[in-house]
Homo-oligomer: A and B are copies of this chain.
Amino acid sequence: MGTSMATNLLEFLSKLSPDDPFERQLHVHNRTQSKTDKLVSQGAVLAPSVADLASACTIVFSMLLNDAAVTSTVEAFLSADPKPGTVFVDCSTVYPNLSEDLSHKAAEKGVLYLTSPIFGRPDAVLAHRGLLVSAGDPAARERVRPLLEAIGQGILDCGDDPRAGSAMKLVGNFFISSWIELAAEGMTLGEKNGVARETVLDFITRLFPGFITTGYAKALVADKFTPTPEDPGFNLEGGMKDVGHMQRLGRESGAPLPVADIVQEHMQQVKNMGGAGLDWSSLSLAVRKEAGLPLSHLQ
């Protein structure tokens, strides 16, 4: 995902006129340095460490795996004397309290901390079809807006609190993972009662159009759960992390989330069946198994 974002930023920076207020140079860092090779060949400058980013840049984007990686990266960045007024935009999916904590730590160093998680798979983001959340200090959001627009195709404005940006990402992933559950239950109910999955897909295509609803419905009909290089999808382990964050957020904020509990239980069952590396839409296999229907995977 980070590579897709950086590629779009490189393209944007290459087209800047001399009047534009942005730094011309994209600096890139990855813990696995080979992942930056292609970007460097396209004109990006390698930053060997996070500290190098702090000295080279006044706008920084991060896209990282989990809360631990975001914590260590932001702490390393803030320890490296970033210039006051620097804007740090975290695009990772993390627990909202972490975004709040890190924004306070950033403020102590004069750094403005924004959250901009992204909806869209890496290939969709590369094709400028990602939807970017934007939350945090209004002036900083305005400053990075052209960059967000260069990365994606739309911005979902979540106000001045960086915590809300991370919450919005979990709310969105709640809809996506819960939709998979709905598709699994609905198709299974049909299949057990003489209605083919293809017919339910036809229903969905007509009354629930949209690339997420129809995309997952098609994956279920095709039993397509194994990631490929062209379509890495989103694996079950990552899904369980995100749904775990939703469940915790629901508990801690007093918002009931019974459908997320069902989703997590089904993902756990598929993981126990050996499906940790499958796409998270494989949670549907738990529904089929309970219904006694044949399974395409993990038999």
Contact = CB atoms under 8 A, between A and B. Distances in A.
A182 B175 contact: yes
Contacts of A181: 259
A132 to B, nearest CB: 11
A237 interface: no
Contact of A189 (B174, B179, B191, B207): B174
B291 A156 contact: no
The complex is assembled from copies of this chain, and their number is: 2
A222 interface: no
B163 A193 contact: yes
Interface stretch (A12-20, A27-35, A38-46, A246-254): A246-254
Instruction: Give the size range of A's interface with the partner.
Output: 35 or more
A203 B175 contact: yes
Interface in A195-220: 195-196, 199-200, 202-204, 206-210, 212-213
Interface of A: 96, 119, 131, 154, 156-159, 161, 163-164, 167-168, 170-172, 174-176, 178-179, 181-182, 185-186, 188-196, 199-200, 202-204, 206-210, 212-213, 246, 249-250, 253-260, 262, 287, 290-292
6 contacts: A154-B206, A157-B199, A178-B182, A182-B259, A189-B255, A255-B291
